[in-house]
Amino acid sequence: MSKPSWETVESATWLAVCNTEGRHSVWPAGLSVPPGWSEAGYRGDKAGCLEWIAANWVDSRPAGVGRVHI
């Protein structure tokens, strides 16, 4: 069995996911989201997920570091 090509992987459907610390990442839509992570609200190609994350993940620090909670 051959590995998928770079073009196939990049054009596959991806999810923007978020963990309990507020960190974001991309995850292949065909796989179960790992424990501690959940869908963040965007599904599409990898580039679209990365753009969505860049626009919506405004504070890249983990939830317990340096954030002011009001």
Residue 2 domain flag: no
Residue 45 domain flag: yes
Tokens matching residue 60 = 């890249």
Phi, psi angle pair for 64, to nearest 5°: -90, 5
Residue 68 domain flag: no
Residue 67 domain flag: no
pTM above the 0.85 mark?
no
pLDDT 10s digit of each residue in the chain, 70 long? 666 655 566 668 999 999 988 899 999 999 999 999 999 999 999 999 999 999 998 877 766 666 555 5
Please count the residues of the chain. 70
Residue 4 domain flag: no
Distances (CA, A) of 48 to 16, 22, 45, 67: 9, 19, 5, 27
Q: Which domain range does residue 40 map to?
A: 12-56
Output the domain CATH number for residue 51.
3.90.820.10
CB 40 within 8 A of CB 18: yes
